[in-house]
A and B are shown apart, each in its own frame.
Chain A
C-alpha cells in the first residue's frame, strides 16, 4: 500500500511561508500507473520526495509497504569526485544488490564506455542522466518514481529506454511527473492534478490531461 494520511507540507524559507500540500489524504491505486501533473512550483517534485521518503512531511504520515525507488530523473545522489563505477557500487550496496550484476547491466545499458572510470564531475548532464536511469533500471522496484526523465539522451537511447521501460511495466507500477501530455498518455492510466494547494484525482487520464490544459 502507498498512502498519504492527512499530509501537509509547508516550507518556510527566509520568512516566506509556502504551503505545498494541505491536509491531503489519498490512497494510491494499486497496479495502476499514476500521473502527477501541475504547473511549475505546484509541488510535484515535493510529492515525489514525500512518496519516496527522502523528505518527511510537515505533519501527517506517508504509509508505504512497497519497494519504492528513489525519485528518478536527476543525478543528485551522485558523488562528483567518485567515478561512475564507484557510484554504481555504492548504490548497489545500499540496496543489497549483486554489485557485479548491476555494473554489467549499467555498462551495457548506459553505453558510457571508458567514461565510467572517470569522476562524475567530468560527465555532461546527459551522461549523468543515462547513468542514473540505467542504475535505477538495474534494481527491481515495485514502484518507480519518475520525475520528467523520459526525455533523456538522443533518439536511439530514448528508443532503448522505452523498450526497457515497457518491460518493467509488466511487473512494476510507476508514478510519473511530466509536463508532456503525450508521455503521460503513453504510460499512465489515471492521475492527480496539483493546483494551488488543492489536489484532484482523475480516474481517466484523458480527463486529467484536459483539466491540466485548461489550467
Chain B
C-alpha cells in the first residue's frame, strides 16, 4: 500500500483539527448560548471594575479621553494571552481520552484549543469595541490592519508559551502552581493602566523585556490615531512567540514517549 501524500496528510490533519474545534466548543460552552454569553461578559466585567475604580478616585485616562478604551486595550490583550496559554497548559491531560482514536495527535488538540480561544476572543473584542464605538467612548480604529497583526501575534505568543508549559507540566506538574505565581505580575508590568513611554527610562529598560507589554503597545498604536510608543518593537513579541512555539513543539516530540 502506498504512503499518503503531504496534501492528503494535511487534509486529514485539518479535518481532525476542525472536528476537535467543534467538539471543544460544545464541551466548553455547553448546550445553551448562555455559556458563550458568559465568556463575553467576564472580560467586560474586569474592564468595568477598573473603570469604576479609577473614576471613583477621580482619575483621567492615562491616554485619550476614554478610560474604558484605554483599559480594554490592555486587559483584553493580556487576557487573550493568559486564556490561551492557561488552557493549553492542561491540554495533554484533559484530552487523554481522545487518544483512544489514534488518528488524533496531541499537536492537533493544542491547535484546536488555540483556534477556539482565538475565535472566542475575536468575538469578544468585536462586540466590546463595537459597543464602545456605539456608546461614543471610542473612535473607529485608526489602523485596522495593525490590529489584525497584533491579534495574530498575541495568539502566537499564547500558543508558544502554552505549548511549552504543557510539555513542562507533563513532565513536572508542580510547574502549574509555580507558573501561576510567576505570571501574576503581568497585570502590573504590561502597561495596562499607564503609558509605558511616560515612565522613567530605568523602568522602561526593565519593562521592555516583557513581550506582553509590546503587544499592548502595538494594540494601542492600532486603535489610537496618535499614540506614541518609544518602547514598541513589533518583531520582539513575534520572535519570542515563535521561539517558544519551537521549544514547545520540539519538547512535545522529544518527550512524547515519556507521557505514556
Which residues of A line the B interface, CB within 8 A? 1, 52-58, 65-66, 68, 70-71, 74, 76-79, 81-82, 86, 90-91, 93-96
Contacts and interface: CB of A to CB of B under 8 A. Distances in A.
Interface of B: 1, 3, 12, 15-16, 18-20, 22-23, 26-27, 30, 97-104, 256-257, 260
A94 B101 contact: yes
Contacts of A1: 1
Contact of B102 (A70, A78, A82, A96): A70
Given A56-B256, A56-B257, A79-B97, 8 more contacts: A52-B102, A77-B100, A79-B27, A93-B18, A93-B22, A94-B20, A96-B12, A96-B15
A53 B260 CA distance: 12
A94 B19 contact: yes
Given A52-B102, A53-B102, A93 B15 contact: yes
B23 A79 contact: yes
A52 B101 CA distance: 8
A94 B98 CA distance: 11
A96 to B, nearest CB: 6
B100 A82 contact: no
Contact of B23 (A57, A74, A82): A82
A79 to B, nearest CB: 6
A91 B101 contact: yes
Nearest to B103: A94
A193 B77 CA distance: 58
Given A56-B256, A65-B1, A66-B1, A86 B26 contact: yes
A72 B79 CA distance: 41
A66 B12 CA distance: 16
A56 B258 CA distance: 9
Contacts of A91: 101
A81 B26 CA distance: 9
